[in-house]
Chains A and B, each alone.
Chain A
Amino acid sequence: EIVLTQSPGTLSLSPGERAALSCRASQSISVAYLVWYQQKPGQAPRLLIYGASNRATGIPDRFSGSGSGTDFTLTISRLEPEDFAVYYCQQKDGSSWTFGQGTKVEMK
Chain B
Amino acid sequence: QITLKESGPTPLKPTETLTLTCTFSGFSLTNAGVGVGWFRQTPGKAPEWLALIFWDEDKRYRPSLKNRLTITKDTSKNQVVLTMTNMDPVDTGTYFCAHYNGYNSLFQFWGQGSLVTVSS
With known contacts A32-B105, A50-B106, A95-B60, A44–B49 Cβ distance under 8 A: no
CB pair B108–A98 under 8 Å, yes or no, is no
CB pair A35–B47 under 8 Å, yes or no, is no
Name the residue among B46, B49, B63, B105 with the largest chain A CB count within 10 angstroms.
B46
Could you say which of B47, B52, B62, B63 contacts A45, with CB atoms under 8 Å apart? B47
* B112 within 8 A of partner (CB): yes
CB neighbours (8 Å) of B105 from chain A are 32-33, 92
CB pair A96–B62 under 8 Å, yes or no, is yes
Closest to A89 in B: B46
* B111 within 8 A of partner (CB): yes
Closest to A94 in B: B60
CB pair B46–A44 under 8 Å, yes or no, is no
CB pair A99–B104 under 8 Å, yes or no, is no
CB neighbours (8 Å) of A50 from chain B are 104, 106
* A102 within 8 A of partner (CB): yes
Chain A, residues 47-90, CB within 8 Å of chain B (1/0): the string is 10011000010000000000000000000000000000000100
Closest to B63 in A: A96
Chain B, residues 36-59, CB within 8 Å of chain A (1/0): the string is 010000000111110010000000
Given contact pairs A43-B112, A95-B60, a sample of 9 additional A-B residue pairs in the complex whose CB atoms are under 8 Å apart:
A32-B104, A45-B96, A45-B110, A46-B110, A51-B104, A92-B105, A99-B48, A99-B49, A102-B46
